[in-house]
Amino acid sequence: EDQVTQSPEALRLQEGESSSLNCSYTVSGLRGLFWYRQDPGKGPEFLFTLYSAGEEKEKERLKATLTKKESFLHITAPKPEDSATYLCAVRHAGNNRKLIWGLGTSLAVNP
């Protein structure tokens, strides 16, 4: 069954304490893995798209990496404003019109 699993469900960090969020997937023929950030009461905000194993993308304190089975979102020296829910979604060859979503990781960064 096509599935996306994110871990941990929730993560609490101190400001400056680096960590990683995980998104593991089991789909046939990956056609893109997407990371979004969602603040309370708002729609998901696009962060990154990764297409092939070994690919990496960076934006400010965030870095996304991709292997054949999972993606990591690395957060370096996080700040309180990085607090949000981070969602992962994949598009696959079986149905490239739909995204399969994980449940998200809720990140809280304490000052």
Residues of the shown chain interacting with other proteins in the complex, contacts defined by CB under 8 A: 4, 31-32, 34, 36, 41-46, 49, 87, 89, 96-99, 101-104
Write a three-state SS string for 43-100: CCEEEEEECCCCCEEEECCEEEEECCCEEEEEECCCCHHHCEEEEEEEEECCEEEEEE
- For the CB of residue 42, give the shortest distance to other proteins in the complex, in Å: 6
- For the CB of residue 78, give the shortest distance to other proteins in the complex, in Å: 22
The helix/strand count (H/E) of the chain reads as 0, 11
Closest to other proteins by CB, 76 vs 83, is: 83
Closest to other proteins by CB, 18 vs 96, is: 96
